Structure 1
């Protein structure tokens, strides 16, 4: 089941059910994609019908940000678990390790992928990583795209963790559905946090919807304009939605 929150359809289920369902998709190597949605993604979808279609055609859309989980409570009275990429990624790696599911990491810098390999070797020693791919930042040619698709399919991966950033990773996954035989998940900024290149906010900030302030303090130049715009617009859209209802 999904519920529309302003511009995106969010999957409604318990956190552990997301883990279970995604693991089943990976075991079956079903060509699917999951969007891990936050306020930024919701606003991008609000501004672009084409991008909204990409997100809403996903097999699952998790409420990554606490504001989205709280938004579902305010609009529908639904007590929805937060399903953050920073929690989802390590839990799915644990499932992949215990179930013998092969994994590919697609996206991120070579440094991030090197750190990913070191991290997984230490904490998931039996995890079968069959691909660490850092594609060029530019748009890929059809031939390059086919080469990466063939590489992933031949690897036998069940999980493909996509770290290209929003909205690029969501568009890439939508384009690859039916072409890559795996469960694709857009993990974005969760990867550098997991491997220690960035720090995660304290638990109290995660629970009070202020995690964005911690991220802002880490990358003020890159994130100030985005947060000033997206957070303000989200609050306005939520107020508008509540008044309408």
Structure 2
């Protein structure tokens, strides 16, 4: 276990992460199991937001998701294997366990077709709809809940409700857009070079503002190391 800007990160091989997940699901526990896939932007936001950092640090497992987090860990002399949320979500969907998907747009969910998805609900809901969502989840008892409400928001939501849900809980951000085929993931050459963020920026220039958080993250890591 290590920390990146105060957020706990678990350094485990991908296979061990999968084994932990399978062990939890096969045990049919009466408690939830909350997994965070942490990227640089999320770690930076958490350093500014105590509620978010508490949510991340009380998760059962925090998996390094991005090249920025791996770089920060490397500066501490730690080697971490990444497990991007999109790959983790896709792996889970292929295991055959019952899954509830919460988040993304309605048109995206329409294109997400896996036989083990028991229900889906888009990510735009008010307090009344939230009650209905929670009631449906408790009725269906899915083994897995994939929340795609956006980085930070989904972790806060899952943390707030984890004591009421007896499922594997994972915040997967934009993974559902990619898995459904609505968006294209960066080619391997970009991913291997650690430039997936740059590919996304080329495809979605409106993401430029979000890249400033990556710069702030890098500066914060450098300052922390110097301090």
TM-score by length of 1: 0.86
Q: Which runs of 5+ in 2 are unaligned?
A: none
Counterpart of 1:123 in structure 2 is: none
Q: Which runs of at least 4 in structure 1 moved beyond 4 Å after TM superposition?
A: none
Q: Does 1:175 align with 2:160?
A: yes
Cα separation, 1, equivalents of 2:25 and 2:171:
14
Q: Does 1:154 align with 2:129?
A: no
Cα separation, 1, equivalents of 2:209 and 2:103:
24
The structure 2 residue matched to 1:115, chosen from 89, 111, 117, is 111
Q: Does 1:56 align with 2:57?
A: yes
The answer as to whether partners of 1:162 and 1:169 remain within 8 angstroms in 2 is yes
Instruction: Give CA-to-partner distance per residue, 1:176-196, whole Å, 9 cap, x none.
Output: 111011011001111111121
Counterpart of 2:210 in structure 1 is: 226
The answer as to whether partners of 1:11 and 1:60 remain within 8 angstroms in 2 is yes
Instruction: Give CA-to-partner distance per residue, 1:19-67, whole Å, 9 cap, x none.
Output: 1212222332531221111111011101111211111111111111012
Counterpart of 1:89 in structure 2 is: 89
Counterpart of 1:140 in structure 2 is: 127
Counterpart of 1:106 in structure 2 is: 102
Counterpart of 1:239 in structure 2 is: 222
**Secondary structure at the residue paired with 2:101?**
strand
The answer as to whether partners of 2:38 and 2:65 remain within 8 angstroms in 1 is yes
Shift of 1:10: 0.6
**Secondary structure at the residue paired with 1:116?**
coil
Cα separation, 2, equivalents of 1:197 and 1:167:
22
Cα separation, 2, equivalents of 1:79 and 1:207:
16
Aligned residues: 225
Cα separation, 2, equivalents of 1:71 and 1:208:
16
Counterpart of 2:119 in structure 1 is: 131
Q: Which runs of 5+ in 1 are unaligned?
A: 121-126
Question: Considering only aligned residues, what root-mean-square deviation do their CA atoms show, in Å?
Answer: 1.5
